[in-house]
């Protein structure tokens, strides 16, 4: 893990097109700004983990042909 120290209004670059800017520090909270292309997905870690868990659960579900027919009202 790379550990960096930054002050307010300083930033780091990730690759050529993602910039992380320190906007403020209040107690234990650090406010970050992120500049990235629209095609780069950015999530808070707890949201990302929830999405991954939901995707795994959805992928492991099985559905019968009868269930599919019910969806289409047949």
Strand ranges of the sheet holding 29-35, from the earlier edge strand across to the other edge? 11-14, 18-26, 29-35
- Specify the residue for token string 């990302």: 48
5-58 pLDDT, tens digit each:
999 999 999 999 999 999 999 999 999 999 999 999 999 999 999 999 999 988
| Entry pTM | 0.71
Residues 36-46 pLDDT 10s: 999 999 999 99
Secondary structure class of 22 (helix, strand, coil): strand
């Amino acid at each position: 893990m790379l550990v960096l120290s930054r002050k307010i209004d300083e930033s780091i670059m990730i690759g050529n097109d993602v910039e992380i800017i320190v906007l403020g520090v209040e107690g234990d909270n650090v406010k970050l700004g992120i500049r990235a292309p629209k095609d780069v997905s950015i999530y808070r870690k707890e949201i990302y983990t929830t999405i991954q868990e939901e995707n795994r659960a959805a992928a492991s579900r099985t559905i019968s042909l009868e269930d599919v027919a019910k969806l289409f009202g047949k």
